[in-house]
Amino acid sequence: MKQNKRLITIALIVLVIASVIAAFALGPGREEGSTAAEDNMVGVINLEGVITGGSGDAFLSSGSDHIVHQLHEASQDPSIKALVIRINSPGGSAAASQEIYQEVLKVKEAGKKVVVSMGDVAASGGYWVASAADKIVANPATITGSIGVIMEFQNVEGLFEKLGLKVNVIKSAEHKDIGSPTRPMTEEERAIFQGMVDDIYNQFIDVVAKGRKMDREKVKELADGRIFTGRQAKELGLVDELGNFYDALKIAAELAGIEGEPEIKEYGRKTPLEILMTGAPGLLQSRNIILPWGIDPAGLLRAPEMK
């Protein structure tokens, strides 16, 4: 029986590896690091999955460090005249989204046109990033919008009581264990968190109003967390054009004054082996499942998210 389970496990691993390799082998032939002598290239950067800070730790996330580095590379590359950012993300960390947004602005400051191509979903933090672009292209059925901010907290006090567990807290000041999952949140603490959410929410509204050249009050009417289809978003002024990736590529080339079919340089595309090596640790980590003991409660707080 154990031998059979071992064989099944090995077979599944082989299947996953084969699937990843096949996906890359059969995927769109976008060129990475083209050596063509062309001086009129369009760069492509993919922002996929949940937007996280740092380098990211799993298959389905985009670490802001990696994306910011790719954007910086594109801004410094004299052969790149325009950039297409392909976004397929439901959002994520507010700060990480801001970091990427700021770097997109620097790409524009370097004299390069930026076009966002929305995939299945480009919402919340994904839309924050998109709002920095010169043009936004979405599919009619793309899910976008979700302009808002959220913080969530769990309370395991009742569970601990059932398990007969008690937590002793020694702290230097009243709010040092703010957000602790082992006790109810006080009204004062709730007000503190609400103030943080409101501040980031107002930053979000300002970013959209500036990027889309819309009246702030108009943006605020749309910023109640609701989502829109790409077609609805276009009618509301949140999106410029309806189309797919290649339509966005064409628009980017036109904005940059590139004639004919542009050469493409794709940044950050990982090989199948790199995906497996960087994704596996994130899948194996249990820090999100097992409550860590003996650390600063602030380490348990989830940063404000846009999702």
Catalytic sites, residue numbers: 124, 176
Q: What are phi and psi of 10, to 5 degrees?
A: -60, -40
DSSP letters for the chain: -HHHHHHHHHHHHHHHHHHHHHHHHHS----SS-----S-EEEEEEEESEEESTT--STTEEEHHHHHHHHHHHHH-TTEEEEEEEEEE--EEHHHHHHHHHHHHHHHHTT-EEEEEEEEEEETHHHHHHTTSSEEEE-TT-EEE----B------HHHHHHHT-------SSTTTTTT-TTSPPPHHHHHHHHHHHHHHHHHHHHHHHHHHT--HHHHHHH-SS-EEEHHHHHHHTS-SEE--HHHHHHHHHHHTT--SSPEEEEESPPPHHHHHHHHHHHHH--TTTSPP-SS-GGGGPPPPEE-
Q: Which of 161, 164, 163, 196 lies closest to 178, judged by CA?
A: 196
CA-to-CA distance for 59 and 111, rounded, in angstroms?
Answer: 33
The number of CA neighbours under 13 Å toward the Cβ of 1 is: 0
